[in-house]
Structure 1
């Protein structure tokens, strides 16, 4: 599956959310890398974007995460091609939320976070929590997450930050 989606008439695409399938791994890896490379520069320096991309372990990691009981909900277009995803752990940690750059600003991130919440509740998680980028922070806030603090870190000697956010499920 190619993630080189066309922009023409993208607004008329009907999206669905479904569970991860093994065949999705390469597409999700491509979505993550494109999102970081094409959307990341809106808020981060080239060095920060490069450091962020370098942390991605590749397509096989998705299968490993599902085998470890993590859930991946995939947003697909009307041809069942992945265009975004959320990865959530049984304890409520939202570890990934990525959309293909051609499919942003259509409510998909919010729908994926809703799916993550449904999963977390089914696992009796008490809260959802994440480390959101500057770019994702507003999406998490719209979904009811509260920022608890800024996290300053270093990746391969490159200073970068994100935001610890959480949403109680009580």
Structure 2
């Protein structure tokens, strides 16, 4: 799978269904055949994975020591609410109410592509998160992406 890109504004209908935007649907050709998976994000958002990306996550989790309590806690929270999403004939998916409640998602949502997954945010929470961008994004970029081993000490 190539990396997912883009940000999409969507609306949920009264039943919690969301139309997959055309620009995203093009990037997910396997979704109609294999479906998608949704689960809790690491913050107050939901995460959607293709079936192949989800299987990679499960492979990683299956290698953890099941006798380690911290591992079990992580797996429990990560897997909590994990649900297959099968697009209907019109391209809509039903987002589980329990997951919507977890993330505080209302009618207006933002889908943010994050390389190999899609984050589903409540629009207001997404706006707040974006507005809290660090004052100096360049410093964050250097801390995360910089080649510290190659830097000359000052």
Answer whether TM exceeds 0.5 for this pair.
no
Report the structure, 1 or 2, having the larger strand content. 1
TM-score (norm 1): 0.30
TM-score (norm 2): 0.32
Q: Does 1 or 2 have the higher relative contact order (CA < 8 Å, sep 6+)?
A: 2
Structure showing greater radius of gyration is 2
